[in-house]
Amino acid sequence: MKPIFSLLIAGLRRLTELCMAALALLTLADVLGRYVFNVSVMGSVELTEILMVGVIFCGIVLATMKREHVVVDLLPLPFGEMGARVANTATHLLAAGISALLAVVSWSQAESALEYGDQTTMLGLPLAPVVYFMSIMLFINTAVQLGLLYKDLHRETAHD
């Protein structure tokens, strides 16, 4: 499973880097266009939103894979190590369930966007591929969350 995670991390990093570079270049072109030529890049807001989808949804999966989400212990865990394992398992299952639910709902929205031919206002870019991408990233996040649960269950201690 480790080689798959490594390839996935590398691919998601490259995609995120590409989106960030495109955002930087788009912002530079838009600012220069506004202040030097008095003309902005048409559809820059729409392009920024689409590129941010790439950054955010790749980032969600990357943060999950590296266990970099914020963790807060709200209640003391009874029963020592066993309590920590139960809480860890419940947390993974809850996170995977929420991610799966969001993936299914967003997939339904993508199908609807495809059926109705939803497009961006200025550039007329189809929205369905963007929403499908969001859904796929959420499905991947669900699989990663379940993979981490499997890994944790087959480890000696519940915490890193």
pLDDT at 158: 47
Is 21 a domain residue? yes
Q: What is the pLDDT of residue 48?
A: 97
Assess if residue 51 is contained within a domain. Answer: yes
Residue 159 lies inside a defined structural domain of this protein: no
Position 91 in a domain: yes
**160 domain residue, yes or no:** no
pLDDT for 57? 98
Instruction: Give me the percent of the chain exceeding a pLDDT of 90.
Output: 76
Which pLDDT belongs to residue 123?
A: 95
Q: How far is CA 66 from CA 103, 117, 150, 152, 157, in A?
A: 20, 37, 15, 13, 18
What would the mean pLDDT of 12-39 be, rounded to a whole number? 96
Q: Quote the domain boundaries for residue 13.
A: 2-153
More confident residue, 15 or 82: 15
Residues 6+ apart with CB under 8 A from 45: 122
The average pLDDT across 40-44 equals 93
Q: How confident is the model at residue 62 (pLDDT cuts 50, 70, 90)?
A: very high
For residue 158, being part of any structural domain is answered with no
| Total domain count, the chain | 1
C-beta of residue 90 within 8 angstroms of C-beta of residue 15: no
Calculate mean pLDDT across residues 132-148: 97
Rounded mean pLDDT, 78-105: 90
pLDDT at 99: 98
Residue 117 lies in a domain: yes
110 in any annotated domain = yes
